[in-house]
Amino acid sequence: MARVNALVITGYGTNCHEESAYALKAAGADNADIVYFSDLAAGHVRMDEYNFLLCPGGFLDGDDLGAAQAAALRWRWSTTNDGHPVLDQLKHFFDSGGIILGICNGFQLLCKLGLLPAVGDHYFERQVSLSYNDSGRFEDRWVTLKANQASPCVFTKGIEYLQAPVRHGEGKIIPMDEPTLNAIVQNNLYALQYVDPETRQPTEQYPYNPNGSPMGIAGLTDPTGRIFGLMPHPEAFNHPTNHPTWTRGRAADIPLGLAMLESGVNYLKAK
């Protein structure tokens, strides 16, 4: 089986890197290195040493600079000490078969970079954005999620329903126009949806949908299925005791959010 070497990007306010790296190792990754973006930009670390890129969440730039907008500009314009654009490394990483997961701020970053949803294979062209929750407040709650079985996403294979916490103030997906939303639906690029826990049907109703995203979309994939971004935090549900019902003995049979990371790891190991 292929070796899974994961790269977890941190810095500039990111604070979910430790639990993300822990979850990757728990999911079966052989290695999970936490690397500051500044070290990547300086050329101290190269992406071609890895095949799993995880962009975690956690108050990137203090959540004050437009839902990862500043981070996207850093990726676009940073060059290493030898003059090579960091973005070229990212392109080569993906072209070489690597997989990319963005969680919360990381999802915002992938959207701002134009890696998601990449309708029509138009990568690095921004097609969606993320805006303030309809509630007008920061949402910190557990949600129930449904995976789109028709999606090409490698991270949701074998998953039907799961639960995970959300903690964000800007999580509402805003397509650039109606044709973009239609293309996302027609091509099954919506990989994950918020659902009503009773009916298990996708919903736009608060609080089951914490931000008001259309069709209850909680996560997007690209046409290859190798790039996936979501607002909920699957890495934060890596053990039954993470769930709020565990003291009442109800969490043991609830699928862990860790299953998404395991799916990504298994995809790479099967190559």
* Residue 138 counted as domain residue: no
Question: What residues are annotated to the active site?
Answer: 104, 233, 235
Mean pLDDT within 33-37:
97
CA pseudo-torsion sign 123, 222, 46, 14: positive
- Residue 168 above 80 pLDDT? yes
Residue 127 · residue 162 · CB < 8 Å: no
Q: Give 242-248 contacts, CB < 8 A, sequence gap 24+.
A: 243/142, 243/163, 244/142
Residue 137 · residue 169 · CB < 8 Å: yes
Percentage, residues of the chain above pLDDT 70: 100
Tell me the per-residue pLDDT of 68-100, one tens digit each, with 9 for 90 and over: 999 999 999 999 888 889 999 999 999 999 999
Q: Are β-strands 99-103 and 52-55 bridged in parallel, bridged antiparallel, or unpaired?
A: parallel
Number of domains in the chain: 1
Q: Identify the pLDDT of residue 249.
A: 82
- Residue 160 above 80 pLDDT? yes
* Residue 213 counted as domain residue: no
* Residue 215 counted as domain residue: no
Distance CA 73, CA 179 (A): 26
Residue 225 · residue 121 · CB < 8 Å: no
* Residue 11 counted as domain residue: yes
Q: What's the CATH number where 44 sits? A: 3.40.50.880
Q: Which residues make Cβ contacts (< 8 Å) with residue 196, sequence separation at least 6?
A: 144, 203, 205, 208
Percentage, residues of the chain above pLDDT 90: 91
* Residue 229 counted as domain residue: yes
Q: Identify the pLDDT of residue 1.
A: 77
Q: Is the pTM of this model over 0.75?
A: yes
For the beta carbon of residue 7, count every other beta carbon within 10 angstroms. Answer: 25
Distance CA 74, CA 86 (A): 9
Domain of 54 in residue numbering reads as 5-131+170-187+220-269
* Residue 192 counted as domain residue: no
Tell me the per-residue pLDDT of 208-253, one tens digit each, with 9 for 90 and over: 999 999 999 999 999 999 999 999 999 999 999 999 999 988 788 8
* Residue 68 counted as domain residue: yes
* Residue 159 counted as domain residue: no
Structure tokens at 235: 């890495």
Higher-confidence position of 248 and 28: 28
